[in-house]
Amino acid sequence: MKKTNPHFILNKYFGYKSFRPGQLKIINNILDKKDSLSILPTGGGKSICFQIPGLIFSGITLVISPLVSLMKDQVDNLNSKDIRSCYLSGLLSKSQTNTTYDLIKLNKFKFIYIAPERLKSKRFIKVISKIYISLIVIDEAHCISQWGDSFRPIYKQITNLTKQFINCPIAAFTATANKKVQTDICNSLNLINPYIYYQSFKRTNLDIEIINCHNQTIKNISLIRIIKEHQNEIGIIYCSTRKTTKKLHDFLNLFNIDSSFYHAGLDKEKKQNIQVSFSTGHKKLIIATNAFGMGIDVSNIRYVIHYQIPSNIENYYQEIGRAGRDNQPSYCYALYSKNDEKIQYQLLKTNKEKIEDFESLKLIFKSNQCRTKGILKYFGEKSIDCKNCDYCKKIRYKSQLMIHISNHEIEFLRKLLVIKKNNLNLSRKFPITDTLLIYIALINPRDIKQFISIPGIGLGFINVWYTPIQQILAWKWYNTFLVLIHVRE
Ligand SMILES: [Zn+2]
């Protein structure tokens, strides 16, 4: 085996014996100096596809990525394998940047990672025109397409670069691109007769469940239930507005559920801290807008909850795709409500294209057929029923909820309350519905603050009923009942 053999390098530097599906094809096309666009689902082993040809080529590989934290991870990783690499980003101090430039000029690196913003720097362009670049890699290539949600105007700078290095192969990667976006990427990057690799988007280890929530109470009950089912596991809750992330964080706090919230409006340091504590496993639950996740490399995320529905299928699939990258069974829940539709329409305003995209998603969420099949169809793939979505498993969350807290038990609790009420000599009818009973049982509220946070319970209710409720809560039978419920969980 020689140094120029991909298998040899795979084994020597990465410790694997064989390639994953598609990797070798992509590598061989790059080695033939063909332009390429690879659409690989997140976690599909993308970096090996360009790092191996980069090691085989005699020159330097330039990697353009918008994900600063991922960039740093990859560079650290390569350096730990004795592959000299560097990155240029705002994270470096002035003197670190100067040293890096000096070393680049001396040809000390095999891989140079940059954020697209760097392409505006005259200093950078001058320096790279004097070194031998044999491969240009463009990560998250869909950011160049104006069709997608993730369009970044700065990506247009890459066009100038590809014109400057006309003889250098370009390898573009993305985890999400339908046909329209694929064509747009190829045109925008001036890819010449590119090799396009498309790996199936099917993820067999993801259970998809769309939960129809008729009102906010059902939604919050479902949320608490799901989090309890996944206690001590790692999860993300996605919301569509920044405001909701904070609100939900405060709500969960009331019930002693530990979480952090994350959105693009937080200051840089806070965002970094949250990312680090999630990546290291210190924080297990993050409530976030779609700003969170890009560049997060946590393989054992066990569940993703969409508390509000996302704006299109690509975002939805990318977000749930963060679960179960270790290929272990993982769960994706969407809490769907009419009110969320309204929020999305407000966010999308009158943008016709985006409204169409949203309606494609709505169709899948509301349809009576396999969810996975609908999603794959959107990406242009044909498939059979998946066997692991709520439609295929013929479950509806509401009935599941009833299994855990049966009608029998509700009846039991109701009777207890009636007996207690009589003992308390209450004259009025106790205004407690089944939903409220389930809520109380699930949440186990212990003070006014927790009680008032339950949708449907207002100050008027508290004024009249809090004292008797408090007495009921202090009653030992009630505690026994709660213990019963928790044991069943
Ligand atoms: Zn299915």
Residue range 376-395, pLDDT digits in tens: 888 777 888 898 899 898 76
Confidence bin at 489 (pLDDT 50/70/90): very low
Distance 42 CA to ligand 1 centre (A): 21
Mean pLDDT over each residue of the chain, to the nearest integer: 85
Q: Which residues have CB atoms below 5 A from the ion given as ligand 1?
A: 370, 372, 385-386, 389, 392
Distance 318 CA to ligand 1 centre (A): 18
Tell me the mean pLDDT in the region 38-49: 83
Query: Is domain 2-198 annotated with CATH 3.40.50.300?
Result: yes
Distance 312 CA to ligand 1 centre (A): 19
Report the pLDDT value the prediction gives residue 481, as an integer from 0 to 100: 59
Distance 389 CA to ligand 1 centre (A): 4
Report the pLDDT value the prediction gives residue 230, as an integer from 0 to 100: 93
Tell me the mean pLDDT in the region 410-420: 73
* pLDDT tens digits, one per residue of 63-78: 999 888 778 888 998 9
Question: CA 282, CA 448: separation in Å to the nearest integer?
Answer: 31
Distance 373 CA to ligand 1 centre (A): 6
Distance 279 CA to ligand 1 centre (A): 31
Distance 43 CA to ligand 1 centre (A): 22
Q: In what order do the strands lie in the sheet with 195-198?
A: 85-88, 111-114, 60-64, 133-138, 170-174, 36-39, 195-198
Greater confidence, 416 or 489?
Answer: 416
* 2-198 matches 206-393 in fold: yes
Tell me the mean pLDDT in the region 8-19: 88
pTM over 0.75: no
Question: CA 325, CA 40: separation in Å to the nearest integer?
Answer: 13
Report the pLDDT value the prediction gives residue 323, as an integer from 0 to 100: 92
Q: What percent of the chain has pLDDT over 90?
A: 42
Distance 378 CA to ligand 1 centre (A): 15
Distance 356 CA to ligand 1 centre (A): 23
Tell me the mean pLDDT in the region 237-243: 93
Give the residue carrying structure tokens 């169809």: 377
Task: Please give the structure tokens belonging to residue 84.
Answer: 């000299």
Least confident of 135-139, 244-248, 452-456: 452-456
Residue 103 has pLDDT above 70, yes or no: yes
Specify the 3-state DSSP secondary structure of 447.
coil
* pLDDT tens digits, one per residue of 27-36: 999 999 999 9
Domain coordinates of the chain in residue numbers?
A: 2-198, 206-393, 401-484
Helices (H), 129-241: 157-164, 179-188, 216-229
Tell me the mean pLDDT in the region 169-189: 88
Confidence bin at 263 (pLDDT 50/70/90): very high
Task: Please give the structure tokens belonging to residue 192.
Answer: 């010449």
Distance 384 CA to ligand 1 centre (A): 8
Confidence bin at 217 (pLDDT 50/70/90): confident
Residue 26 has pLDDT above 60, yes or no: yes
Residue 220 has pLDDT above 70, yes or no: yes
Distance 366 CA to ligand 1 centre (A): 14
Distance 343 CA to ligand 1 centre (A): 27
Distance 374 CA to ligand 1 centre (A): 9
* pLDDT tens digits, one per residue of 292-335: 876 677 889 999 999 999 988 888 988 998 899 888 999 999 99
Greater confidence, 279 or 170?
Answer: 170
Distance 353 CA to ligand 1 centre (A): 27
On whether the CB atoms of residues 111 and 137 are closer than 8 A, the answer is no
Distance 39 CA to ligand 1 centre (A): 23
Distance 263 CA to ligand 1 centre (A): 32
Residue 420 has pLDDT above 80, yes or no: no
Residue 129 has pLDDT above 70, yes or no: yes
Distance 212 CA to ligand 1 centre (A): 16
Confidence bin at 486 (pLDDT 50/70/90): very low
Question: CA 345, CA 218: separation in Å to the nearest integer?
Answer: 22
The CATH number of domain 206-393, selected from 3.40.50.720, 3.40.50.300, 3.40.720.10, 3.60.20.10: 3.40.50.300
Distance 386 CA to ligand 1 centre (A): 4
